[in-house]
Amino acid sequence: MAGDHSTGDSKTELTRLQGQRTIAVAAAGRPSSCGQASGCLGAWVPYLIDGHNLIAQMSAIRLADPDDEARLCAALRLFCSRTNSQATVYFDQGRPGGEDPARAGGLSVRFTRPPKTADEAIRAHLGRLRGEARNWTVVSSDAEVRRAAERAGARTLNSREFARRVEAPRRAPAVEKPEAVPSADDVAYWERQFRRKRRR
């Protein structure tokens, strides 16, 4: 990633995400007063995710997989759609061409460029959020990242627990099949995004 492509005012970003969340809640017929702490499906919670740290806790993805990042992105996009959430995931090692894959389905993907790490990018993101960091949840099992999140006032969630949530079958009416595994089309979409950036 060309640095961490996080230009723009953090408060503007948060306002935009809140507007999207309000629309999603209304469309789903859920009360917008559903609190973040309640744990209900409609609670609006934006996530900052330590990507490779999360992959290490996923049962169906391995860090050694050649498409591990694309598969995680597909799973996260499915999770965001299922829970009406927004997420920003950071990965170490920028892609050739220095650009990130486009935002899709509530998910924003960002790569760091060495020597900067995903941990440092997450801490910088929290710094830009300032007081708004309290509205975000940082997903990582890295102790330093979690301490930085707590100092910024953000919530924390360890990667093992979040992986369990991402991979949990969706609760659905009997006429629908449980949905937790991203489709081949979703994985292929993210692989195309990554390849496109390599060619630039």
Residue 141 lies in a domain: yes
**Number of structural domains, the chain?**
1
126-144 confidence digits (pLDDT tens): 999 999 999 999 999 999 9
50 SS3 class: strand
CA distance 55 to 131: 29
| Cis amide prior to 115 (ω within 30 degrees) | yes
pLDDT at 114: 87
Residue 82 lies in a domain: yes
Residue 135 lies in a domain: yes
Helices 10-28, 118-129: inter-axial angle, 10-degree rounding: 90
CA-based Rg of the chain, rounded to a whole angstrom? 16
pLDDT at 94: 61
pTM of the shown model: 0.67
Residue 12 lies in a domain: no
Whole-number average pLDDT of the chain: 75
Query: Could you tell me the CATH number of the domain that includes residue 131?
Result: 3.40.50
4-30 confidence digits (pLDDT tens): 444 344 455 554 555 444 333 333 333
Residue 9 lies in a domain: no
pLDDT at 194: 60
Long-range contacts of 63-67 (CB under 8 A, 24+ apart): 67/187, 67/191
- Residue 160 belongs to what domain range? 40-199
Residue 186 lies in a domain: yes
DSSP 176: S
Q: Give residues with Cβ within 8 angstroms of 162, minimum separation 6.
A: 47, 49, 54, 57, 139
Residue 2 lies in a domain: no
Residue 106 lies in a domain: yes
99-128 confidence digits (pLDDT tens): 555 566 789 999 998 899 999 999 999 999
